[in-house]
Chains A and B, each alone.
Chain A
Amino acid sequence: MNTNSNLYTVIYTSVVCVLVAAILAFVSQALAPRQEANEKAETISQILTAARFADKAEWDSKGNDAILSFYKENVDKAWLVNAQGEECGTLDISKAEIVTVSGLKKQNYAIKDGSELSLPVYRFKNGITVVPIYGAGLWGPVWGYIAFQQDLKTIAGAYFDHESETPGLGGKIKDDPSFRAQFAGNRPDFNGSTDEVFEIVKGGAPKDKEGKDVEDNKIDAITGATMTSKGLDEAIDTWLEAYKPILNR
């Protein structure tokens, strides 16, 4: 058979393309429910980690069902807010309904082009409130959850995740607990002179003689991960600004 004729080439290529697309579509359809269940439990465990109920590794060892039932027991209210901070929808707690990463992506588009928002807010029975953030890192999206104390001004904890940042560099936003730990106790500044609500400073945040941060809304960036730090900084600014009506009361 002449494998170099035009007809053969065209037919061969088409068959391969159709076959590959069909396999991928079938597999992704068939596995979608399981993947979604995993993704949901993962998202909830990230929210719970940000609210500092337990460490991420502990949630990972517990399994999906335990995470879901812990969430259902401890969450007080989960709802959606619009750009004015008014409630515009509720999330069903009994079904552990949450907004996953793909939902955050859609809201990120909405924040950018100024269309109608419905941003999720999770309030727990111990008074901690968690809001998500979403943005672009170096190679792909970065997102995360920031937990506020009862006053809705002081950060209680944070957790970040990413799709494809470089392990050991940008990946540290997720893997390095000391980066996350910097957030606790800080306060985003909505009334400052710049439009930076919160800042991740390259080369380190300004410090006093004892090595303590001078300003409450600045933390140290990750060495060698300028782009990821920048992207995360922008994501936090954009999203906290969107939550301003409920955070800056």
Chain B
Amino acid sequence: MEYVSLFVKSIFVDNMIFAYFLGMCSYLAVSKNVKTANGLGAAVIFVLAVTLPINYLLYTYVLKPGALLWLGEGFADVNLSFLSFIVFIATIAAIVQIVEMVVEKFAPSLYSSLGIFLPLIAVNCSILGGSLFMQNKDFAGIGESFTYALGSGIGWWLAIVALAAIREKMAYAHVPAPLKGLGITFITVGLMGMAFMTFMGISL
């Protein structure tokens, strides 16, 4: 039950885009049509679901104050948390790069549809944001961190597909010329964000 509520909460209440406004750059840039939005969304779900449990393990067993206790009593006071930023970033960049290489080698068709988004994801702050939130939320185990990652990823995917659908429809609307494209997208996202705020009050 806890997993279900964490899952639902991370999709809607703690939505990466509308509650925290993370990962906006690629969100705005790659939401012109539903198909590419789907691709990027899937890539974000995948990378979040892989990197977050890994970062969880790194944090719990290496970086957290006193985390090195399993090496022996002498390591009880070692605090490596000053490294956590750089370790998280390196993990994410490494995973993204590995995934890119593997996909390119073994599934060229998937690579041609997804591959171009992968480098974009390394700099997508929702991924690093996920790892930083994990550090803050004190998850009980790797299962919880995986659930959270999956939920956040799906929330991000949902948000980008919704925006892409709106933008596709907007092609038929009369938008003032200077506002076309980026300008109206900003305003649309702002309005969507206000709508999503209604989820904030829900406690699960």
A, B: real partners: yes
Residues of A within 8 A of B66 (CB): 106
**Given A106-B66, A226-B200 in contact, is the A136-B138 Cβ separation under 8 Å?**
yes
Partner of B136, one of A24, A109, A136: A136
Contact across chains for A24 and B65 when beta carbons are under 8 A apart: no
A54 contacts chain B at the CB level, 8 A cutoff = no
Contact across chains for B83 and A140 when beta carbons are under 8 A apart: no
**Given A106-B66, A136-B136, A139-B136 in contact, is the A20-B86 Cβ separation under 8 Å?**
yes
Q: Interface code A190-228, partner B: CB below 8 Å = 1, 0 otherwise?
A: 000000000000000000000000000000000000100
Contact across chains for B65 and A105 when beta carbons are under 8 A apart: yes
How many residues on chain B are close to A (CB under 8 Å)?
A: 13
B82 contacts chain A at the CB level, 8 A cutoff = yes
Interface of A is mostly: helix
B90 contacts chain A at the CB level, 8 A cutoff = yes
Across the interface, name the chain A residue whose C-beta is closest to B14. A227
**Given A102-B65, A105-B65, A226-B200 in contact, is the A24-B132 Cβ separation under 8 Å?**
no
A-B contact pairs, 25 of them (CB 8 A): A17-B90, A20-B86, A21-B83, A24-B82, A24-B83, A24-B86, A28-B82, A102-B65, A102-B79, A105-B65, A106-B65, A106-B66, A109-B138, A112-B138, A136-B136, A136-B137, A136-B138, A137-B136, A139-B132, A139-B133, A139-B136, A140-B132, A140-B136, A141-B136, A226-B200
Across the interface, name the chain A residue whose C-beta is closest to B135. A140
Residues 19-78 of A contacting B (Cβ, < 8 Å) = 20-21, 24, 28
Residues of A within 8 A of B132 (CB): 139-140
CA separation between A140 and B65, bound complex, in Å? 15
Residues of A within 8 A of B133 (CB): 139
CA separation between A140 and B84, bound complex, in Å? 13
Return the 5 tightest CB-CB contacts between A and B, nearest first.
A136-B136, A28-B82, A140-B136, A226-B200, A102-B65
Residues of B within 8 A of A137 (CB): 136
Residues 133-154 of A contacting B (Cβ, < 8 Å) = 136-137, 139-141
Distance to closest chain B CB from A161 (angstroms): 15
Q: How large is the interface on A (under 10, 10 to 19, 20 to 34, 35 or more residues)?
A: 10 to 19
Across the interface, name the chain B residue whose C-beta is closest to A102. B65
Across the interface, name the chain A residue whose C-beta is closest to B129. A139
Distance to closest chain B CB from A164 (angstroms): 9
Across the interface, name the chain B residue whose C-beta is closest to A141. B136
Residues of A within 8 A of B83 (CB): 21, 24
Q: Interface code A120-142, partner B: CB below 8 Å = 1, 0 otherwise?
A: 00000000000000001101110
Across the interface, name the chain B residue whose C-beta is closest to A112. B138
Residues of B within 8 A of A141 (CB): 136
Across the interface, name the chain B residue whose C-beta is closest to A140. B136
Residues of A within 8 A of B82 (CB): 24, 28
CA separation between A20 and B136, bound complex, in Å? 25
Residues 61-82 of B contacting A (Cβ, < 8 Å) = 65-66, 79, 82
Across the interface, name the chain B residue whose C-beta is closest to A137. B136
CA separation between A139 and B133, bound complex, in Å? 7
CA separation between A136 and B133, bound complex, in Å? 10
CA separation between A24 and B185, bound complex, in Å? 41
Residues 81-102 of B contacting A (Cβ, < 8 Å) = 82-83, 86, 90
CA separation between A105 and B135, bound complex, in Å? 13
